[in-house]
Structure 1
Amino acid sequence: MRRLAPILLAAALASPASAQSLLNGLFADHAVVQRDRPLPVFGTAKPGETVTASFAGQTLTAKAGPDGAWRVDFPATPAGGPYAITAATASAKASASDVLVGDVWLCSGQSNMEMQVSASGDAWNQINNGAANDTIRMATIEKADARSPAKDFKKPPAWKPTNKDTVGAFSASCFYFARELQKTRQVPLGLIHASWGGSGIEAWMTPTALRKVGGYDDAIAVLNLSITDQAAASRRWGEVIKAWWSAKTPGQAALAPWTGAGTWTAAPRDLGIWERWGVPALAEFNGVVWFKTEVELTAAQAAQAATLGLGQIDEMDTTYLNGVGVGATSGSWLERNYALPIGSLKAGKNTIVASAYDTYANGGMYGDPAKRALTLADGTQLPLTSWSYRIEPRAGGDPPRAPWDTLSGVSTLYNGMLAPMGPYAYGGLAWYQGETNVGRDKAYVNLLGAFMAERRLGQAPDMPALVVQLADYGGYATAPGLPAGTAALRDAQRRAVAADPRAGLVVTHDIGDPYDIHPANKQEVGRRLALAARRLYGEPVTTGPEVVSAKRSGDTVVVSFAQVGGGRLVARGSDRVIGFELCDTTCRWVDGRVDGTSVVLNGSGSKVRFAWADSPSFNLFDAEGLPAGPFEVEVKL
């Protein structure tokens, strides 16, 4: 890698705010930009202003459009640096120093991508021994959601070179991937990390991509309505939840919870986390609990606008006033304060009902009880006390998420975290997500395919996309043929990657933890990510046994694999292979034996499953120690 003298910074800089917008926030000190491709440099200036930008000895000009957006494209530059990027107008100047040119990767997903080096296995040793590497740099994008594409980051990202003071806060999977990849691709590596624990894939996609997948038109329409008329959108969303409840509880309209009808049980005075109430039915309950209270108003009070405060709710709510939807929020950390326009209230008794939907760990209405109040426009505050509750049976499925739901809505995280990146050039995607989409595997195949295609837009059309498959977590299989949501999602990930010639799958179901959804061995995740990237770069490496076919052969089924390291399969700890099922109308476990790069199963069936459990038991690896990935495929004659 060649080293060049840095270009001197402009002597005069604009104020931080104008400097931030003149150059996009990713063009900051210590940035890494993509090599060997035209380099877009862009930002926001005053409409009509001429912008002069410089990089690597080149100077280009552009005129800011009516919205202030400007862009220039510098010629492709080989790996090297450091350089400076400068931009100037008649009214502002901005610059970024110590900029390297190399390969840029976008690392994104939910909590397993978000897990920091400091929380991963062997953290102290990794941080304190040999972490210094000025040519691996990470920029972490601040968490932000939005209902329409944001032009600027919530907070400008700061690029951090790797050292013992910075690496502890890096995404562990992303960092270990880069460190391993740089052993064979000796160029600077820039890592843009954009993740949010608990997020669904739909939140990271644009409305355009979701429309192509299909089934999201209504959600997108409600989201767009919420931008211009939140009250109308809340009413409309309230009807969606009503329809969900009515469909799962046919013939029970007289007991509809949003009306306040039916049987309710008095809740503890200060509410709080329901697992702590001492109610057996709620001790480990994840699902919907409805909460109800009432408030009496005079005619003068009812004639006012008001704000309905409910405090914090873990983790999602849809709230009704007199049977009309008035708000829906996701996020246990958020205070609920819903605006009630004039005409929402009535004289006499007003019934407030909130459905609290909890998917993991604690649930309930909690925090300061004083924040649960109705505040009228004249300043009068009416405490909301005497709450009662009603548990919604899990049978029939869980409710849909509001389209503006931070983590499981439509486009919310794309709008808040990816859209501000604009056309910043990157050369690869590493995606570690899926836990939140367990149970929606049929849709996930197309969603993941569309997501990878969308991330390539404006980038190289053959850009590598790496997908980390879900690790083992949850129950073991106690009988063949049982449903397993995590296994089904893993297979959806496998099928989406198999349909994309520039995608690579990273199998991890041997390095997870059945009791912890956040396995600590992120070094091995990074090593396998690097193997997948190297394979897509055309290097002669194998990435673990991939099922090719299952064919009937007499009274056996022969399952063939590709990408077998060392040219042979291995049944660890036994002379037979375990983890296979053969299925027709029912499934049964079958023994198998290794035959080179195939496994021969005793028996017949219309399909074969392997490692089909949330936490599967299996022993099939290749000679280089990589596991065969889980799958379900049809048996061909």
Structure 2
Amino acid sequence: MKFITSLSLILGILAFQPAYALVSLAKVIADHMVIQRGEPVNLWGHAAPKEDISVFFKGATYRAQADKQGNWLVTLPAQAASTGHTIKVVGVNTITLSDIAFGDVFLAGGQSNMAYTLEQVISRFPDEKHQKSYPDIRHFKVQRNYNFNGEQRDIKHGKWLQASASTIGQFSAVSWFFAKELAQYRDVPIGIISSNVGASPVESWMSLSALSLFPNAQTLAQQLQNSEFKEQLLAQYKAKRQAWRKANPNKKLPYSINRATQLDFKPTGFYNAMIAPLQPMRFKGVIWYQGESNTNKPNDYAKRFSTLIASWRQLFEQPNLPFMFVQLANFRLPDEQPKDSNWAILRDQQTQVFKTIPHTAMALAIDVGERHDIHPKDKETVGKRLALGARYLAYGEKDVSFVSPMLLSAEVNNNQVLIHLEHIGKGLKVQGNELKGFAIAGQDKQFRWAKASLTTSGVKVWHNDISQPKFVRYAWADNPEQANLFSADGLPATPFEVALP
């Protein structure tokens, strides 16, 4: 009886004690992290409700209190570029962060061509295995995760890696070459937050509110918040896969069916779980490589991608956040005769984004793709071209030539079409003996390969059998590998289609 009374007393006392939980940090805040220089420094995490948090940094103390849900955030003053810092976070427990750097942080988004690691393309770049260490280039890979139940407070997992011969194989290949190129021009730590998923469509990286312009996608995202709806959808997907396998025994499930019958690629899923949790961070810029998974319906990609850019800028409270993106590479066998192409339409949509959305840069890749691999190995050229855009937009190097030659205007002169181009810098050049990649059509829009030659401001295009040209295309194909018009600086001319009066 005495024991029971004592136990009851102890339990009664404990019932009135405040609840304690170990203080934790957001998973992206860890040893070797790079934090954006020149911006207020946000540190955030979780603790017991109303718990007092103290942060010790460079001899100063910063305090905060967790809210009713246990969420807390402390803001430190902006810092100059530097390395080797220690930050201590104290609540009921103590967390010590070591080797923290302040530099420039870039968010690397998109699908598989951004996700592809250096190890996956190392056969193209064997010397990278023997690179000297770049301890101030650091990479954080956000673990794949999705969630349809609103914007999440934290990512699933990740780890900061310093660049060395033993680690760079795990880096996003595009990100590695991008950061390595910037390191040649900027003596500051470079951090890459690599948050991307292969085969993901643009809608999966958009917020629920951003999808208001796309009712079908937004409705699906809202329905996916209902567990019963998700179970029904999964059952339908399972039935589709089983039906295909029954009709096609001993065959591998096609990629298109496999992808279409997976939940995680649906609208908002990756945004909620892999982008929204990074909201307190500040970035020097975004690099983006995506679009292949939207080529089935390319005609409104510009509207969708522009909306994504605006929503990310709003999320991070950086209205002029530089956005450097890759135009789709060439892929598949080249066409024997000119024809329509969804890949060409999507590239043109990407060009529209560059032309209409401020603080963007577009890196072309129509000269580095591969016929039989949607994942071309030449990630170095892509990374370097993205870096050109960053040097201009993020660092203000106004003498950098980062824009590929683009259509300015076109006019008919007798039976020839004079194409005027802008962004030609020091001039134009042809890689090869004969200028190729142009197609021309009359009113019937039956395109034929055209003759073409350089002029002082662009190109002259014609076909002897078309006396009244009405349309001209350049590099308009899934794989325009024959297109060989470049700027003198080595940037490929931008694909286009133009209707003539």
TM-score (ref. length: structure 2): 0.86
The letter of the residue matching 1:623 is A
Q: Distance in 1 between matches of 2:352 and 2:21?
A: 46
Residue aligned with 1:442, SS = coil
After superposition, the C-alpha distances for 1:34-90 in whole angstroms (9 at most, x for unaligned) are: 01111211111111112112334442211211221111222221111221222222x
Residue aligned with 1:33, SS = strand
Asked if 1:196 corresponds to 2:213, the answer is no
Query: 1:414 Cα deviation (Å)?
Result: 1.2
Q: Give the aligned partner of residue 320 of structure 1.
A: none
Query: 1:316 Cα deviation (Å)?
Result: 4.6
The letter of the residue matching 2:479 is S
Q: Give the aligned partner of residue 270 of structure 2.
A: 413
Q: Give the aligned partner of residue 622 of structure 1.
A: 487
Which runs of structure 2 are paired with 1:564-575 in the superposition (5 Å)? 564-565=424-425, 567-575=426-434
Q: Give the aligned partner of residue 43 of structure 1.
A: 45
After superposition, the C-alpha distances for 1:145-169 in whole angstroms (9 at most, x for unaligned) are: 11223323222x2111100110011
Q: Give the aligned partner of residue 470 of structure 1.
A: 328
My pick for the range that moved more, 505-514 or 124-133, is 124-133
Indicate if the aligned counterparts of 2:410 and 2:498 stay in contact, CA closer than 8 A: no
Indicate if the aligned counterparts of 1:38 and 1:74 stay in contact, CA closer than 8 A: yes
Asked if 1:557 corresponds to 2:414, the answer is no
Q: Distance in 2 between matches of 1:117 and 1:238?
A: 38
Indicate if the aligned counterparts of 1:138 and 1:170 stay in contact, CA closer than 8 A: yes
Query: 1:558 Cα deviation (Å)?
Result: 2.4
What percent identity do the matched residue pairs reach?
29
Q: 1:86 to 1:265 in 2, by over 3 A?
A: closer
List alignment gaps of at least 5 residues for structure 1: 1-16, 242-256, 276-281, 289-313, 318-329, 331-404
**Alignment RMSD:** 2.8
Asked if 1:170 corresponds to 2:171, the answer is yes
Q: Distance in 1 between matches of 2:260 and 2:435?
A: 48
Q: Distance in 1 between matches of 2:191 and 2:218?
A: 36
Q: 1:203 to 1:217 in 2, by over 3 A?
A: closer
After superposition, the C-alpha distances for 1:443-488 in whole angstroms (9 at most, x for unaligned) are: 21111111112222224321210111111111322322x2212111
Query: 1:620 Cα deviation (Å)?
Result: 0.6
Residue aligned with 1:198, SS = coil
Q: Distance in 1 between matches of 2:376 and 2:45?
A: 39
Query: 1:436 Cα deviation (Å)?
Result: 0.8
Q: Distance in 1 between matches of 2:318 and 2:71?
A: 23
Structure showing the higher strand proportion among its residues: 1
Q: Distance in 2 between matches of 1:286 and 1:488?
A: 22
After superposition, the C-alpha distances for 1:508-555 in whole angstroms (9 at most, x for unaligned) are: 010110111111111111111111111223321112533242221422
List alignment gaps of at least 5 residues for structure 2: 1-19
Query: 1:236 Cα deviation (Å)?
Result: 7.7
Query: 1:585 Cα deviation (Å)?
Result: 3.9
Q: Distance in 2 between matches of 1:125 and 1:468?
A: 24
Q: Give the aligned partner of residue 66 of structure 1.
A: 68
The letter of the residue matching 2:420 is S
Indicate if the aligned counterparts of 1:427 and 1:460 stay in contact, CA closer than 8 A: no
Which runs of structure 2 are paired with 1:147-546 in the superposition (5 Å)? 147-148=148-149, 149-155=151-157, 157-226=158-227, 230=228, 232-235=229-232, 267=246, 273-275=250-252, 314-317=258-261, 330=262, 405-407=263-265, 409-457=266-314, 458-480=316-338, 482-536=339-393, 537-539=395-397, 540-546=399-405
The letter of the residue matching 2:401 is T
Query: 1:30 Cα deviation (Å)?
Result: 0.3
Residue aligned with 2:224, SS = helix
Query: 1:123 Cα deviation (Å)?
Result: 5.7
Q: Give the aligned partner of residue 95 of structure 2.
A: 94
Query: 1:142 Cα deviation (Å)?
Result: 0.9
Q: 1:615 to 1:18 in 2, by over 3 A?
A: farther
Q: Distance in 1 between matches of 2:161 and 2:215?
A: 40
TM-score (ref. length: structure 1): 0.69
Residue aligned with 1:274, SS = coil
Residue aligned with 1:626, SS = coil
Residue aligned with 2:450, SS = strand
Indicate if the aligned counterparts of 1:468 and 1:529 stay in contact, CA closer than 8 A: yes
Tell me the number of residue pairs that the alignment of Structure 1 and Structure 2 aligns.
469
After superposition, the C-alpha distances for 1:409-432 in whole angstroms (9 at most, x for unaligned) are: 011111222222231222110001
Indicate if the aligned counterparts of 1:222 and 1:237 stay in contact, CA closer than 8 A: no
Q: Distance in 2 between matches of 1:462 and 1:450?
A: 14
Residue aligned with 2:366, SS = coil
1:613 pairs with one of 454, 460, 477: 477
Q: Distance in 2 between matches of 1:538 and 1:175?
A: 22
Structure showing the higher helix proportion among its residues: 2
